[in-house]
Amino acid sequence: MNAVNDFQATLDPSRKGWLDSANDPASDFPIQNLPFGIFSDRRNDARRVGVAIGDQIVDLAALQAAGLLSAPGQQVFARDALNDFIALGRAAWRSVRIQLSLLLARDTPALRDDAALRAKVLVAQADARLYLPVQIPGYTDFYSSKEHATNVGAMFRDPKNALLPNWTEMPIGYNGRASSVVVSGTPVRRPNGQLKLPDQERPVFGACRKLDIELEMGFIVGGGNALGEPIASADAEAHIFGMVLLNDWSARDIQQWEYVPLGPFNSKGFATTISPWIVTLDALEPFRVAQPLQEPQPLAYLRHEGEHAFDIHLEVTLRPQHAREASTITRTNFKHMYWTMAQQLAHQTVSGCNTRVGDLMGSGTISGPTDDSFGSLLELTWNGKKPLELKEGGTRAFIEDGDELTLTGWCQGDGYRVGFGRCAGEILPARS
Amino acid sequence: MNAVNDFQATLDPSRKGWLDSANDPASDFPIQNLPFGIFSDRRNDARRVGVAIGDQIVDLAALQAAGLLSAPGQQVFARDALNDFIALGRAAWRSVRIQLSLLLARDTPALRDDAALRAKVLVAQADARLYLPVQIPGYTDFYSSKEHATNVGAMFRDPKNALLPNWTEMPIGYNGRASSVVVSGTPVRRPNGQLKLPDQERPVFGACRKLDIELEMGFIVGGGNALGEPIASADAEAHIFGMVLLNDWSARDIQQWEYVPLGPFNSKGFATTISPWIVTLDALEPFRVAQPLQEPQPLAYLRHEGEHAFDIHLEVTLRPQHAREASTITRTNFKHMYWTMAQQLAHQTVSGCNTRVGDLMGSGTISGPTDDSFGSLLELTWNGKKPLELKEGGTRAFIEDGDELTLTGWCQGDGYRVGFGRCAGEILPARS
């Protein structure tokens, strides 16, 4: 055995765990996944690093204290964010993954047969509270779905020239607001702002009337670059720790009035929700697929050999306040994205811009090719003109107060799925 | 005596220090200023909090250790950033200012007459290294000079409708990249990126050919706001710790190709330089003046009574490599800014967006009304069409490799000036 073989074994579809809940084909967290997060629980309110397995969380701080997990850094797991662990680098991530995969495997007795130890290091997800998994020094949001950019361009600019000329040349992106990134489950207050109503000369101040989601995924930078030293496309994936679901809440009316010429600002800065579990790029390896054909061929600094897209199924549901049943409003796939994560990171750093451990990079709204696979209500309802019928709770042009929006995502393996959990938020009424 | 009188006394133009260099009318750092920064020196390479006075720095960590300075926080001065001190709040900032002003005043013997103590707590600026004064969680850049926005609009959009309709309704801004904010003196590498040349169908990759400065000032948030809880315009100044000079280096050719529709990204993300000393809003109090008339009257959330502009003289010099003499390329004043800092902070938070201690908010390029008072080469040379004559080193349309650009700023008092020091950077050739 060697490290490469050990790593390949963690991806083996036939590997099963001794925790039954991890072997449920519908579980997001089988032994092949092992995503990292930050949690506390009723018995211990200290935030610490955990890994989801089935319906449980493995407490890595407790596991290390018990001598069952070695990591090069001292105490990187007894922390309220993953940054210090992530900063150890890829070899450390893999080493921890390999150790956990073995410890949780059906045939490994160390933890399986020790009830007292299990009580110390396993916490039921139902009893845990989850937090933002990383301290986020910087947040970039890209715009890398060709379908989404085309839809938005057709609606707000020119349907005949919907895609701007720079779009096929580079992964267009902008800096987002890192301070208001929140973890799934955090209620989101409808923003106030300036609205330019069609029948009035001047804007009015009031609550957003066109509140929307953007179904995105985000990646977490695992190894940054120094100022002035770009990351090459071919090397970029080695700088990525893992991925989360991301909802880039958007106030369309505020956006339309404010965004020329410097881009979206208050329309996006009030909240961005991410899922609590970071699924590592290592766990996603079996689901690598070819990215769409890029035509024209990108400039040299954006080229990379091989397959750099990932086959990740995505869904969004909307549940009105007091409704029992949620309605699925879109189904799409991350593999549709035109620009890859590697190209996004190479593009942002080609100017010399530095990145840091924990930086969050959003994909941009993920829209598929069909009109039931769009990643925003703006597109699904064509700016409110074609409201969606919900199973329960009427119709929706945009989000209403009390609505809960939930993003889910998973890679489908043979008999198991590598899932991302939930990225959910309920809308509170605007501040009066 | 009471706290208000003690504070007023720190602003007294007639107060003199026992350090001669602080009484030089040309010094940026008289006893009325007392700006905060982070430094180390030859004898002690630990970064710590200092206050500039004349040609010296008072080491606040050493002063506290010697029992001559009380502050509510333990050890907030033996830190590599000001954030912990700033987080103590305005009463603490004022208390430290009052204590320092007394300790350094001509008639106070405690430090003046104790040579051993002076040797411990005073460091010559010539022997010190200065660092970024705060850890910056978020960076916003506004666009609040009417003259600048009009000039840019005339050049790139429509001279007849140079100012977009949203500009007079709100302080337009965007999120900048916090990771690449560097302290004065840090060399800046010319960025590479995509350039769209007029005679070619597709962009080329290469070094920026239109590298520019933007003469700005920035304010440092001293007290943030929670997510969902806006800061009112009338309260906003109480949330501001102080101000710095800021050079928002800009790659005009990269910017022009990339900025539609999501705003500037790689054209700004490669470096932003700030001055090392934060001049507190307290020290600027005597230089408060009326802001320009705002017509139309802003919406209610942007209104504030009284005077919220500051009379700060600003200059930029350019010194070519190997030249002995620098040329002044512009002279302007911060008081020309149309939107105030208070309005900027109120606008960014009105959506519910949270801010944090140490956030940096750039003013936007500060252009005056005359064509020798513009804050960028873009405007001074009208996009390169009217190159500037330098005293030494030829002409400049945009910045050349080896050029050193230096921003200075000061408030002119009666017999003294409250200065900002220097915000300088030399341009290195692009990475090949």
Domain positions in chain B: 3-131, 139-428
- Residues in A touching B257 (Cβ below 8 Å): 166
The top-level CATH class assigned to B3-131 is: mainly beta
CB pair distance less than 8 Å for A264 and B267: no
Range B348-370 average pLDDT: 98
Closest CA to B397 of B332, B329, B333: B329
The two three-digit tokens of residue B386, written as one number: 């009217």
CB pair distance less than 8 Å for B189 and A350: no
> From A300, which residue of chain B is nearest by alpha-carbon distance?
B205
Give the separation between CA A318 and CA A325, rounded to whole angstroms.
Answer: 9
What local confidence, expressed as pLDDT, does residue B74 receive?
Answer: 73
Band of pLDDT at residue A75, cut at 50, 70 and 90? confident
CA-CA-CA-CA torsion for A380, A382, A384, A386, nearest 10 degrees?
Answer: -80
Question: How far lies B91's CA from each of B5, B30, B65, B72, B85, in Å?
Answer: 14, 22, 21, 10, 11
Give the separation between CA B59 and CA B75, rounded to whole angstroms.
Answer: 13
Band of pLDDT at residue A76, cut at 50, 70 and 90? very high
CB pair distance less than 8 Å for B179 and A353: yes
Kindly state the DSSP code that residue B21 receives in the 8-state scheme.
G
Per-residue pLDDT reduced to its tens digit, A205-256: 999 999 999 999 999 999 999 999 999 999 999 999 999 999 999 999 999 9
Are B276 and B52 within 8 A, CB to CB?
Answer: no
CA distance B382 to chain A (A): 19
Interface with chain B: mutation pick from A265, A357, A359, highest number of B CBs within 10 Å: A265
What local confidence, expressed as pLDDT, does residue B2 receive?
Answer: 75
Give the separation between CA A102 and CA A115, rounded to whole angstroms.
Answer: 18
Average pLDDT value for chain A = 97
Kindly state the DSSP code that residue A322 receives in the 8-state scheme.
T
Band of pLDDT at residue A72, cut at 50, 70 and 90? confident
CB pair distance less than 8 Å for A177 and B175: yes
Kindly state the DSSP code that residue B240 receives in the 8-state scheme.
E
Residue A418 has pLDDT above 80, yes or no: yes
CA atoms within 13 A on the CB side of B292: 17
Indicate the pairing of strand B404-412 with strand B395-396: unpaired
Radius of gyration of chain A (CA): 22
Band of pLDDT at residue B393, cut at 50, 70 and 90? confident
Give the separation between CA A258 and CA A208, rounded to whole angstroms.
Answer: 13
Per-residue pLDDT reduced to its tens digit, A79-90: 999 999 999 999
Residue A102 has pLDDT above 70, yes or no: yes
Closest CA to A50 of A79, A21, A22: A79
**CATH H-level superfamily of B139-428:** Fumarylacetoacetase-like, C-terminal domain (3.90.850.10)
Are A184 and A422 within 8 A, CB to CB?
Answer: yes
Kindly state the DSSP code that residue B244 receives in the 8-state scheme.
E
Residue B1 has pLDDT above 90, yes or no: no
Tell me how many residue pairs between chain A and chain B have CB atoms under 8 A apart. Answer: 196
Omega into B261 within 30° of 0, i.e. cis? yes
Are B253 and B386 within 8 A, CB to CB?
Answer: no
Average pLDDT value for chain B = 97
Give the separation between CA B191 and CA B196, rounded to whole angstroms.
Answer: 15
CA-CA-CA-CA torsion for A59, A63, A64, A65, nearest 10 degrees?
Answer: 100
Residue A307 has pLDDT above 90, yes or no: yes
Question: How far lies A275's CA from each of A152, A184, A215, A363, B129, in Å?
Answer: 26, 5, 12, 14, 42
Band of pLDDT at residue B4, cut at 50, 70 and 90? confident
Band of pLDDT at residue A16, cut at 50, 70 and 90? very high
Per-residue pLDDT reduced to its tens digit, B103-147: 999 999 999 999 999 999 999 999 999 999 999 999 999 999 999
pTM: 0.98
Per-residue pLDDT reduced to its tens digit, A261-272: 999 999 999 999
What local confidence, expressed as pLDDT, does residue A2 receive?
Answer: 75
Work out the number of other CB atoms within 10 angstroms of the CB of residue B161. 10
> From A430, which residue of chain B is nearest by alpha-carbon distance?
B228
Picking from B177, B299, B352, the nearest residue to A353 by CB comes out as: B177
ipTM (interface predicted TM): 0.97
CA end-to-end distance (rounded Å), chain B: 64
Range A12-34 average pLDDT: 98
Per-residue pLDDT reduced to its tens digit, A382-413: 999 999 999 998 999 999 999 999 999 999 99
Range A414-425 average pLDDT: 98
